[in-house]
Structure 1
Amino acid sequence: MQSISSVDQLMPTHRRIERMTEHLRTVFDDKASQKLPVFVGFITAGYPSPQLTVPLMLAMEAGGVDVIELGIPFSEPSADGPVIRECHEVALWYKVDFKMCLKFISEARSKGLKAPVILMGKYHPSAYFHHGFLDLGPE
């Protein structure tokens, strides 16, 4: 797991949120100043397998993705289409949960991922695990 610097340990939670928001804002501002679109890519964490999630995140960035949306698997993705629902089913079969999503982000960061990561999911599963969330680097 990613270690926390002494500055981060002393920084109040709201300041860490502002720093993460600034990272995302910088990407959008840089692209806007160049009159370019922001390339946002989405994958469901744990699909097609948990072992491929981090390599896929790194490959997305290497391929030009500016921002990564990492989908949190959910057992009732009724608002999603059939492809996303199937991805959720596979990831849940592998028992991918919110905590594992945070570990994927931490591992990707430790391997050099610089792109902002936005967790995409329903509020309900996210509420079950929040300790350490801000320390792991999702935007």
Structure 2
Amino acid sequence: MTTRIDNRFAQLEREGRPAFVTFVMAGDPDLATSLKVIQALPAAGADIIEIGMPFTDPMADGPAIQAAGLRALKAGTTLRKTLALIADFRKSDDATPIVLMGYYNPIYIYGVDAFLADAKAAGVDGLIIVDLPPEEDEELCLPAMRAGINFIRLATPTTDDKRLPAVLANTSGFVYYVSITGITGAASADAGAVGTAVARIRRHTKLPVCVGFGIRTPEAARAIAAQASGAVVGTALVDALAKSLDAEGRATAKTVSAVADLAASLAAGVRGAKQAAE
């Protein structure tokens, strides 16, 4: 079964350019503003949109994304409302791939079968669940694949050649390479080290390899994207949104454009990566 993610990477390959993947938190700072932000991202150059599922204990996330999740929870965002948000987005955009990113607990509570049916109906294309290792593939990964939803796995600098085949076994859509050890937003990615790591992963899989964590500027996005199938930016966009809020943490007239303008400059960086690679 071909997903929107597969179609998008096939299109990018024809165009000879890497993907620009954005991450924002569902419901941050409220559901109405969140929808407007997500709707603005494709026009700003996002090829794939990752949407965070707010969770009370986001252990892999740094302070910026943790704060975004807390703002979203405070605004009443639930997993059900996150799926409704995606369904609303799909009313005007049926092409841009959407990946839900987060933790297994809310999905487990929702019920795996019910979640997958509702996610598919809402227009979700892929899942990144950071706390489900390959040993737990029966829990969600294999049911997701059967439902026609890509299960995207994380590889890290500590994923060695012995471990990599297990990580890649049931991965689909793309591989997400975490360029640094630690939490999101903690450090800057090293393009040289990333290039070596991506080459190693590509020896084990034909899937696209996108690189995230530690990419904050157009220059960094260009340098990383030149080494990979795509660059993922989250913390920088979440920070831009946070800085646009008023003293009470509410959206302002600048919130949507703050995210969209930064996304556009990062997209320009990624699109310049083809030249950088030549």
SS of match in other structure, 1:132: helix
Highest relative contact order (Cα 8 Å, sep 6+), 1 or 2? 1
In structure 2, the partner of 1:25 is 6
SS of match in other structure, 1:28: helix
Distance 2:39 2:72 in 1: 19
The Cα of 1:135 is off from its aligned counterpart by 1.1
Kindly tell me: are residues 52 and 113 of structure 1, through their superposed partners in 2, closer, same or farther at Cα, counting changes over 3 Å? farther
Q: Aligned-pair RMSD on alpha carbons?
A: 1.4
Distance 2:5 2:93 in 1: 17
Distance 2:84 2:38 in 1: 13
Distance 1:34 1:133 in 2: 30
Letter matched to residue 114 of structure 1:
A
Q: What whole-Å deviation, never above 9, does each CA across 1:29-88 have from its counterpart, x for those lacking one? A: 211232211111110001122111111111001111010001000000121011000001
In structure 1, the partner of 2:39 is 58
1:122 aligns with 2:108: no
User: TM-score with structure 1 length normalisation?
Assistant: 0.80
Runs of 4+ that moved beyond 6 A: none
In structure 1, the partner of 2:60 is 79
| Aligned residues of 1:58 and 1:113 also touching (Cα < 8 A) | no
Distance 2:95 2:108 in 1: 26
| Aligned residues of 1:68 and 1:117 also touching (Cα < 8 A) | yes
In structure 1, the partner of 2:165 is none
Letter matched to residue 136 of structure 1:
A
In structure 2, the partner of 1:48 is 29
1:37 aligns with 2:18: yes
Percent identity, please. 29
In structure 1, the partner of 2:69 is 88
The Cα of 1:113 is off from its aligned counterpart by 4.9
In structure 1, the partner of 2:122 is 136
SS of match in other structure, 1:40: strand
How many equivalent pairs are there?
Answer: 120
Letter matched to residue 110 of structure 1:
K
Segments of 5+ residues of structure 2 without an aligned counterpart are: 126-278
Query: For residues 92-111 of structure 1, what are the structure 2 equivalents within 5 Å?
Result: 92-111=73-92
The Cα of 1:98 is off from its aligned counterpart by 0.7
In structure 2, the partner of 1:5 is none
